[in-house]
Structure 1
Amino acid sequence: MSAPKPVASRRGGRWIDEWDPENERFWKEKGERIARRNLVFSILSEHIGFSIWTLWSVLVLFMGPEYGIDPAGKFFLVSMATLVGSVVRVPYTFAVARFGGRNWTVVSAAMLLLPTAFAWTVMEPGTSYTTFLLVAALTGVGGGNFASSMTNINAFFPLRRKGWALGLNAGGGNIGVPVIQLVGLLVIATAGEGNPRVLLAVYAPLIVVAAALAWRYMDNLGPVTNDTGAARESVRDRHTWIMSFLYVGTFGSFIGYSFAFGLVLQNQFDRTPLQAASITFIGPLLGSLIRPVGGYWADRFGGARITLYTFAGMALATGVVVLASANESLPVFLVGFVALFVLSGLGNGSTYKMIPGIYRAKAQDLGLAGEEAATYARRLSGAAIGLIGAVGALGGLGINLAFRQSFLTTGSGTGAFASFLVFYAACFVVTWAVYLRGAKPAGATGEPGAPIAESGDRQPAYVGV
């Protein structure tokens, strides 16, 4: 996305045709007030979107033996939601510039009524498995809200405030996962596991409220346009795909485990729906709350270092989970699994902070400086973030398919966890080899991770980002 000079007025409605947040006077006089207002209602819409995206992580807890669906079938069911939510992130990224941030927020929020209404219709024993798959796939539209919301808020704030604004926006959205799981726990505890429609009745009016508030209080930015050249350039850049691989390990883990946690507890440790629901929200909640900490530590110590330590920790926690799973120790299993959520949250923050740093460093390596370098970095990182977010979310699909296969063949999730351990080790190696090999130790200069030359060879500018 880019924000060129003011353009002629576009369609009717709440369009702002002059927007210059980098201008201190403009920002203080009216820009900050408008940006903050849009941020608040963007967070609300994205929060509901995440809740609906992960709706089936709760609904499967209501599906007892009378539904006739085995554990492998349930894992495949939630995988459909993950898949669609990942794929739609790409078009949602470009929809903001095409239709306007406020307009698209209203439309994308209102679209959440579709999967909610269809789930109300089919959520009963006797419904065919194919029908459940189609309805679960519809909830994927909630996953796209993250991409459009982040793209929209990115345009409202100046460079010096983007980290804070995007961190709040992302964290507020992610918390939609544990919130719907908490609401599901409340429904199971009060209405019983045979009343899934109560959960849907709670969320339907919230969707309407989110769409109505976005319509009333948000704005469209006329100067924001789709930069197709930057999109093509980011696709050709190897760092887009390297960071996508790393984001599979962080956000893919967060969303994949969010879908799978309750099912694993039910099918491997024989927890009742109420027992499972009373635990499943803890991991996503902690992972969401700690995401800004990962960004803060990345600012202070370098994103690549925090990401490296995160993957080391995730590999260690996965090792604990494998041992606990093999020995059927639920307390140790829970400690390891919750640690995975916390570490994935830290990694979400640190990997997102690496992206603009990589392209700013590349700009300087090309001989650019000042505003020219900042513009290059904004163009490339803005285009790359949408694709990285989409590919990263596919990691959730991989996790649930791995669980499905593991339970199908062995009746346990141990095999899936062992494969995750290997993947985190690969992420650790890639992070070190690409972004840390040859970097100075932290504190060796005023900038942690500054590149050094070895044997007379100049190191890449992005080393130590």
Structure 2
Amino acid sequence: MVTSAVSRSQDQSARTPVLTRRSGRWLDGFDPESTEFWHTQGRPIARRNLGWSIYAEFLGFIIWQLWSVVVVLLPAAGFAFTSAETFWLLSVPSLVGATLRFPYTFMVPRFGGRNWTIVSALLLLIPASLLAIAVGNPDTPFWLMLVIAALAGFGGGNFASSMANITYFFPQREKGWALGLNAAGGNLGTSVAQFFVPVVVSIGAGIGLGLPLAGWMWVPFILVAAWGAWRYMDNLSSAKADLAGSAAALREPHLWLLSLLYIGTFGSFIGFSSVFPKLIVDEFPEFSALHIGAAVVSLAFLGALVGSLFRPLGGRLADRFGGARVTVAAFAVMAVGAFGILGVLALGQFWLFLVCFLVLFAATGVGNGSTYRMIPIVFSASAVARREGDAAAVARRAAAALGLISGIGAYGGFVVPQVLNASQSASGGYEAAFVGFGIAYIVLLLVTVVLYAVPRASLDGRRI
């Protein structure tokens, strides 16, 4: 009996990881899947890292989407860019940010989550400072403004490295909620930038500072993020790059199908977030700025705010009703919103325009959460249908797909402004673009129904 008890104790000890710390805040033996370790040591460490990760990613989104509000303030600062040029200033940050998400995903295993958070936060100083300098001189050429706008893509890349880092800290049973908080916290950065930049710039104009504050105002916060990551975050030696898993995911047809859906949901969210302030200025200039004392407030921030707040709801609804059903409903509402905006543009009613856009933003948020939730389920069902026996390989492939799809989906932030640009250039208005958006959402709805809402043998007869 004694020998048996000792044996059980030794077995339990062997199963409980021993956490060791090295210089540079490296942690060895961090195993969130061990229940005892998670409850005694892992959870507080994970939550501390999550908090600073959210803050750093939040600032990344602010810098990424800073030009969405700056471009509408350029005319008052003496700039005379064409509408097409301003659309390029709006869309290039999304193009660069989406592209950077791929290499950023592998930076955490290469350099450590804490170390890369410090570096990626400090990189935000470059686009913020250069923007502040450039907008202070109306003679700054368009090509230079475009280069500086492209550098704002550093903020878009932060999402991928932040999500990859947090993945290693949480057990599977809590990973979805942690990643949802991380994503939603980052998305809120767009709304915060669109609310506070006009306020600070308008107040600063009274003391001779004005538009350069749009960049300078974030520098102290960025420095705090870098300091917080240095002081409180950790590097995990267990974080390993999975190039094989990424290569396997790229060969999976469902990765490209789900990427298409994510372009429709997240791509629409980030794309419309970037152009919403300009659309209000172009269509309803009398409502583009609300004066409250010396401050100027734009209602454009409401779109990104609603979309961000509805994202976690999409994940929750997907858990209860199924990701495909919720995504179908999201695309249906998005189509209604797009066609509603089309009708409202003809009527010239601002408040109806705002309501329709907020409905569209809410649906993109729900669709973001539900589509993202579908990814691991689709990969698991596909593997079961093919009778794959290596569960670890399936999990690795699904995890890699999450990062890849988030990067591909972000290209929608480039597509949406350019579609609107093409519509305005060709017809002088945005009506054709919203017809196209509405039709695209209906097509994506049908794709979701046919491939994922209806049980299919290729997905083990499951309804996703």
TM-score normalised over the length of structure 2: 0.91
Q: Please report how far the alpha carbon of residue 308 of structure 1 lies from its aligned counterpart in structure 2 after TM superposition.
A: 0.6
In the alignment, the residues of structure 2 paired with residue 161 and residue 390 of structure 1 have an alpha-carbon distance, to the nearest angstrom, of 23
Confirm whether residue 346 of structure 1 aligns to residue 372 of structure 2: no
C-alpha contact (below 8 Å) 2:17/2:37 kept by paired residues: no
Match of 2:232 among 197, 206, 217: 217
What is aligned with 1:447? Answer: none
Confirm whether residue 461 of structure 1 aligns to residue 460 of structure 2: yes
Q: Please report how far the alpha carbon of residue 362 of structure 1 lies from its aligned counterpart in structure 2 after TM superposition.
A: 2.5
C-alpha contact (below 8 Å) 1:291/1:349 kept by paired residues: yes
The change in CA–CA distance for 1:9 and 1:229 in structure 2 (over 3 A counts) is farther
- After superposition, what is the alpha-carbon deviation per residue over 1:108-157, rounded to whole angstroms, capped at 9, x for unaligned? 00000000111111113111010110000000000000000001001110
The change in CA–CA distance for 1:19 and 1:363 in structure 2 (over 3 A counts) is farther
What is aligned with 2:323? Answer: 303
In the alignment, the residues of structure 2 paired with residue 274 and residue 191 of structure 1 have an alpha-carbon distance, to the nearest angstrom, of 16
What is aligned with 1:84? Answer: 96
Match of 1:104 among 108, 116, 120: 116
The change in CA–CA distance for 1:8 and 1:175 in structure 2 (over 3 A counts) is closer
In the alignment, the residues of structure 1 paired with residue 129 and residue 203 of structure 2 have an alpha-carbon distance, to the nearest angstrom, of 22
Matches within 5 A, 1:111-260: 111-123=123-135, 124-192=137-205, 195-260=210-275
TM-score normalised over the length of structure 1: 0.90
What is aligned with 1:383? Answer: 400
C-alpha contact (below 8 Å) 1:407/1:413 kept by paired residues: yes
C-alpha contact (below 8 Å) 1:189/1:274 kept by paired residues: no
The change in CA–CA distance for 1:277 and 1:381 in structure 2 (over 3 A counts) is farther
The 3-state SS of whatever aligns with 2:345 is helix
C-alpha contact (below 8 Å) 1:57/1:262 kept by paired residues: yes
In the alignment, the residues of structure 2 paired with residue 355 and residue 171 of structure 1 have an alpha-carbon distance, to the nearest angstrom, of 18
Confirm whether residue 421 of structure 1 aligns to residue 438 of structure 2: yes
Q: Across the two proteins, how many residue pairs are aligned to each other?
A: 440
- After superposition, what is the alpha-carbon deviation per residue over 1:415-437, rounded to whole angstroms, capped at 9, x for unaligned? 11111111101110110111012
Gaps of 5+ in 1: 440-450, 452-457
Q: Please report how far the alpha carbon of residue 393 of structure 1 lies from its aligned counterpart in structure 2 after TM superposition.
A: 0.6
Q: Please report how far the alpha carbon of residue 347 of structure 1 lies from its aligned counterpart in structure 2 after TM superposition.
A: 0.5
One-letter code aligned to 2:84? A
The change in CA–CA distance for 1:356 and 1:134 in structure 2 (over 3 A counts) is same
What is aligned with 1:293? Answer: 313
In the alignment, the residues of structure 1 paired with residue 306 and residue 452 of structure 2 have an alpha-carbon distance, to the nearest angstrom, of 27
- After superposition, what is the alpha-carbon deviation per residue over 1:304-351, rounded to whole angstroms, capped at 9, x for unaligned? 110011001100111100111133222221111111111000001001
- After superposition, what is the alpha-carbon deviation per residue over 1:186-226, rounded to whole angstroms, capped at 9, x for unaligned? 12442349811122222011000001100110011101111
- After superposition, what is the alpha-carbon deviation per residue over 1:429-459, rounded to whole angstroms, capped at 9, x for unaligned? 110111012x3xxxxxxxxxxx6xxxxxx46
The 3-state SS of whatever aligns with 2:238 is coil
C-alpha contact (below 8 Å) 2:311/2:365 kept by paired residues: yes
C-alpha contact (below 8 Å) 1:103/1:220 kept by paired residues: yes
Higher mean C-alpha deviation, range 321-330 or range 291-300: 321-330
In the alignment, the residues of structure 1 paired with residue 151 and residue 162 of structure 2 have an alpha-carbon distance, to the nearest angstrom, of 19
C-alpha contact (below 8 Å) 2:19/2:29 kept by paired residues: no
- After superposition, what is the alpha-carbon deviation per residue over 1:138-188, rounded to whole angstroms, capped at 9, x for unaligned? 000000000000010011100000011001100111001101111113124
Q: Please report how far the alpha carbon of residue 76 of structure 1 lies from its aligned counterpart in structure 2 after TM superposition.
A: 1.2
Higher mean C-alpha deviation, range 275-284 or range 427-436: 275-284
C-alpha contact (below 8 Å) 1:41/1:214 kept by paired residues: yes
In the alignment, the residues of structure 1 paired with residue 376 and residue 458 of structure 2 have an alpha-carbon distance, to the nearest angstrom, of 19
The change in CA–CA distance for 1:8 and 1:190 in structure 2 (over 3 A counts) is closer
One-letter code aligned to 2:223? V
Q: Please report how far the alpha carbon of residue 8 of structure 1 lies from its aligned counterpart in structure 2 after TM superposition.
A: 13
One-letter code aligned to 1:216? R
Q: Please report how far the alpha carbon of residue 273 of structure 1 lies from its aligned counterpart in structure 2 after TM superposition.
A: 4.9
Gaps of 5+ in 2: 1-15, 291-295
In the alignment, the residues of structure 2 paired with residue 353 and residue 367 of structure 1 have an alpha-carbon distance, to the nearest angstrom, of 22
In the alignment, the residues of structure 1 paired with residue 178 and residue 234 of structure 2 have an alpha-carbon distance, to the nearest angstrom, of 16
Q: Which has the larger radius of gyration?
A: 2
The change in CA–CA distance for 1:377 and 1:107 in structure 2 (over 3 A counts) is same
In the alignment, the residues of structure 2 paired with residue 262 and residue 397 of structure 1 have an alpha-carbon distance, to the nearest angstrom, of 16
The 3-state SS of whatever aligns with 1:156 is coil
- After superposition, what is the alpha-carbon deviation per residue over 1:235-288, rounded to whole angstroms, capped at 9, x for unaligned? 010111001000000000010011000101111222465249521000110110
Percent identical among aligned pairs is 43
One-letter code aligned to 2:196? V
- After superposition, what is the alpha-carbon deviation per residue over 1:64-100, rounded to whole angstroms, capped at 9, x for unaligned? 1631112221111111111001100000001111111
Q: Please report how far the alpha carbon of residue 360 of structure 1 lies from its aligned counterpart in structure 2 after TM superposition.
A: 2.0
| Aligned CA-pair RMSD | 2.1
One-letter code aligned to 1:406? S
Matches within 5 A, 1:441-460: 458=457, 460=459
In the alignment, the residues of structure 2 paired with residue 315 and residue 356 of structure 1 have an alpha-carbon distance, to the nearest angstrom, of 26
Confirm whether residue 19 of structure 1 aligns to residue 30 of structure 2: yes
